[in-house]
Structure 1
């Protein structure tokens, strides 16, 4: 990993209002050190352990939710209890490959949603989540 990456991640966390603890920086490097990606807490936990970080699954969950609350991640609930976290926080939709449990971005302007009801007084729509589920042809 690049020498400047830990300090860049620490600055990003500070800018989002989070204290850059060692574990937050380590998890941030895994999340934000490359291209946009979709991860579950379990995937990130396994990656952290493989990278030599001694971090509990509970800490990974807490950190992912802190990052989401700070606007650094977007949480996507798939199949009820399964949550994925997206490093691309822009308003976009997803393909979900059911057999792989894998999410892929759909460009933001590829899907149009019509008929969205007017939100209640004092509320606004922040974004609309669209997940297009994919299975192999013939199934």
Structure 2
């Protein structure tokens, strides 16, 4: 019998681990899967990273600010400081497990869906929502200064309620 473990968000695997042919064996158990994701990305699964990772990745694709995650951690009785939350979010982003999305340069969200996609920003409740239109595209890219290349394009479409 040839059984395969279903892949849960293959995009969450660090590109270096993906390129090396190493995919963590994901089980659907958030605690186990966070441990595997951290190790595949080359991050040590400390208690704080595990707890914050469980809060981040245990509820599917989501968009959180550091403050939102800190509030969830506090409610879950996870003993972390806001500085630790910021550091962990930045480490997970650097490792390719999160995608950072800035809105207005004043608010930064961390997206657990690291695949290429764009967002709606709902101004009335400060919510970031994925755009599911795969046919959306830019018609022309700008000239890139010499010595640089485009790493990714983030489009945020701001929405407000009709008056």
TM-score, with length taken from structure 2: 0.78
Q: How does 1:82-121 map to 2 (within 5 A)?
A: 82-107=107-132, 109-121=134-146
1:71 aligned partner: 96
The match for 1:34 among 59, 62, 67 is: 59
The separation in 1 between residues aligned to 2:29 and 2:162, in whole angstroms, is 45
Equivalent in the alignment of 1:128: 153
Matched positions, count: 137
Note the C-alpha offset of 1:107: 1.9
Of the three residues 64, 81, 84, the one matched with 1:59 is 84
Residues 102-130 of structure 1: per-residue CA shift (max 9 Å, x gap): 00000251421111024344543232111
1:47 and 2:107 correspond: no
Q: Secondary structure at the residue paired with 2:120?
A: strand
Q: Structure 1 stretches (4+) deviating beyond 4 angstroms?
A: none
Equivalence for 1:11:
36
What's the CA shift for 1:80?
1.4
Q: Which runs of 5+ in 1 are unaligned?
A: none
* Structure 2 unmatched ranges of 5 or more: 1-26
